[in-house]
Structure 1
Amino acid sequence: MSTKNFLRIGVFYDGTYFIMAQNYFWGKKYGWLSVQEFHKLLESFVRTKEQGHVSYKVVYSAFFQGVHKESAAQENNLRLDRKRHLDLLHAGIEPKNVPMSETQGEKGIDVYMAVETLQIGLDDKIDMAILVTGDGDFVPLARALMKNGVRVLIAYFEYEDENHKSFANERLVSAANHSVNINSLENDREFKAEFKTIFRQPTDNKKAKA
Structure 2
Amino acid sequence: MAEQTRIAVMIDGSYFNRVSNYYKFEHSTGRRVSMTGLLELIRRATADMEDVPAVRARVVAAHYFRGRYTLRDLEDRARSPSFVEESLRNDRVFDQILAASNITSHYTRIDTIADPPKEQGIDVWLALEAFDLAVSDRCDVVALVAGDGDFVPLIKKINAIGKRALVVAWGMKSETGTEVRYSASLAGTAAYFLDMADLINNPRGDDQIDLVDQLFVDN
Structure 1-normalised TM-score?
0.87
Question: What are the within-5 Å matches in structure 2 for residues 110-189 of structure 1?
Answer: 110-161=123-174, 162=176, 164-186=178-200, 187-189=202-204
Equivalent of 2:217 in 189, 197, 200: 200
- 1:115–1:175 distance in 2 versus 1, CA, 3 Å: same
CA distance in 2, matches of 1:84, 1:46: 26
Conservation of the 8 A alpha-carbon contact between 1:30 and 1:199? no
Corresponding residue SS for 1:119: helix
Equivalent of 2:90 in 69, 72, 80: 80
Identity %: 25
CA distance in 2, matches of 1:199, 1:188: 14
Question: What are the within-5 Å matches in structure 2 for residues 15-164 of structure 1?
Answer: 15-27=13-25, 28=27, 29-52=29-52, 55-73=56-74, 74-75=83-84, 76-101=86-111, 102=113, 105-106=118-119, 108-161=121-174, 162=176, 164=178
Corresponding residue SS for 1:134: coil
Conservation of the 8 A alpha-carbon contact between 1:157 and 1:183? yes
Identify the range of structure 1 (16-25 vs 162-171) with the bigger mean alpha-carbon deviation: 162-171
Structure 2-normalised TM-score?
0.84
The residue type equivalent to 1:15 in the other structure is: G
The alignment yields a C-alpha RMSD, in angstroms, of 2.0
Corresponding residue SS for 2:165: strand
Residues 111-134 of structure 1: per-residue CA shift (max 9 Å, x gap): 111111111111111000000000
CA distance in 2, matches of 1:155, 1:116: 17
CA distance in 2, matches of 1:89, 1:50: 28
CA distance in 2, matches of 1:51, 1:63: 27
Residues 14-39 of structure 1: per-residue CA shift (max 9 Å, x gap): 00000111111122344231111111
Gap runs ≥5 in structure 2: 75-82
CA distance in 1, matches of 2:193, 2:120: 23
Conservation of the 8 A alpha-carbon contact between 2:144 and 2:166? yes
Corresponding residue SS for 2:166: strand
Aligned length: 200
CA distance in 2, matches of 1:52, 1:185: 20
CA distance in 2, matches of 1:79, 1:160: 30
Corresponding residue SS for 1:149: coil
Conservation of the 8 A alpha-carbon contact between 1:158 and 1:167? yes
Corresponding residue SS for 1:168: coil
Residues 33-57 of structure 1: per-residue CA shift (max 9 Å, x gap): 1111111111111122111456011
- 1:4–1:149 distance in 2 versus 1, CA, 3 Å: farther
The residue type equivalent to 2:217 in the other structure is: R
Q: Which runs of 4+ in 1 moved over 6 A?
A: none
